[in-house]
Amino acid sequence: MNVVRSTNTTDPAESTASASDVAPPVLGRRRTALYAALLVGVLILNAVFFLLGVFAGWWRPQASSLQLIAAISQLNLLLATLPRQNWMVNLISAVATRAPVSWPLSLRWRLAQYYHVGGLHVGGALAGTAWYVIFVILLAPSWADGIDEYDDLSVAIAMVVVVVLLAICFLARPNFRRKHHDIFEASHRFGTWLVLLLAWTNTMVLAKLQTPQRSFGEALLSSPIFWMVLVSTSLAIWPWLLLRRVRVSVTSPSSHAAIVKLDHGYVPNVGTTRSISRNALFGWHPFACIPAVAGEPGYRMVISRAGGWTSNFIDNPPTHVWVKGIPTVGVANAKRLFNRVLYVVTGSGIGPVLGHLLTDTQGARLVWVTKTPRATYGDDLVNEVESAQPEAVIWNTSEQGKPDVFEITYQAFVASGADAVICVSNKKVTDRIVAEFEQRGTPAFGPIWDS
């Protein structure tokens, strides 16, 4: 094990503690339990309300029932939108991480999982789609019976909305999303825009059909669907109002990595990520915002070769990129709830935690397992890491071989005195690191790849 400039009297390489020496006291909590609980909770709540309506006779093929079902569907879709808003994620993180470190560990552990709110997004999307399917099922006989509030156009719109929602859900399946990210992203973005456009059209049509009884404006303003569609549309438009094309400087220390420097009059907070794109409409990818080198303006991003988009970026670096919305806090901000955190990263996982490592030199420790770090990421970047983290464990797999990442992490954890672990690696390594530490009663966190 290679310990860079270690000044700790308890060297992880010399530690006699071993992960196998410590039996897990209890079965650890599943790291996606909160995410799953939020998702299932939304579905159960909707199912209970649906069953209540069945027994109470609410869901009959009549106009009032159909309006209520449409409103419930739109409310769920609005719920699905909120956890994907940059400002909402930042707000939830700010509230969750304000808890003092004197609070009970179990409570801080749960608060640190604020990034699991994606479960609400998925639950709301699935429930909203299901309600819209019910809406169409009941709408067909209502239209056939000649109910005045519904005509051929509103029926056609509703059917198209159902098809689009089902397509979005189908293309968002985890396996498909990982293999075909660009298709997933395009279906989500353009499918959502199409649903909003159709929702506006249908809202106008329904209000127009009610004009014999009231004015068009009165029918529109009295509809709860109108207000929910208005809010949903505002949330969808807001990030794009902040769309900017900014100049970048790209240097590539190797064919595997690129360091991007951005300077457009704004420096994001440490621990945030920002999506960039070479095309304003699609191909958006998030990267961590890293403070610039002391004395230099702007901020940086580290991009590693991990697919077609990143490969093209490294091989053909652009002079400008698009940014939109606001920077969003990442999983590593959970460190605010703990005294000292051990960061475990492999390869380019150094990027999302680098800002914390460079600025929190007293409360952070690092284990970095990577191939030829200097040749891959450049001497300047590695020197920064070594200077900020003199006790870092940097394992060069080209020279030292492939390690048991958990074993060397556990030794570093014992030596560092950390009270939490944050892992940024591939899914297999992250799942194991987090599960192993959780089983030993230690808070551990890592990306859950829910978007």
d(CA 346, CA 429): 9
CA distance 93 to 327: 13
This prediction's pTM: 0.84
Calpha distance 301→289 (Å, rounded): 6
- At 395 the pLDDT is 95
Q: What is the pLDDT of residue 150?
A: 60
Asked whether the beta carbons of 364 and 387 are under 8 A apart, the reply is no
pLDDT at residue 212, as a whole number: 66
Report pLDDT for 61. 66
Domains of the chain and CATH, by start = 19-28+334-445 (3.40.50.80), 33-238 (no CATH), 244-324 (2.40.30.10)
| Residues of the chain with confidence (pLDDT) below 70 | 1-30, 61-63, 141-151, 209-212, 450-451
Q: What are the tokens at 165?
A: 């929602």
pLDDT at 180: 84
pLDDT, position 7: 34
Kindly tell me the burial class for residue 415, based on how many C-beta atoms sit within 10 Å of its own C-beta (0-12, 13-18, 19 or more): buried
Provide the pLDDT for residue 6. Answer: 36
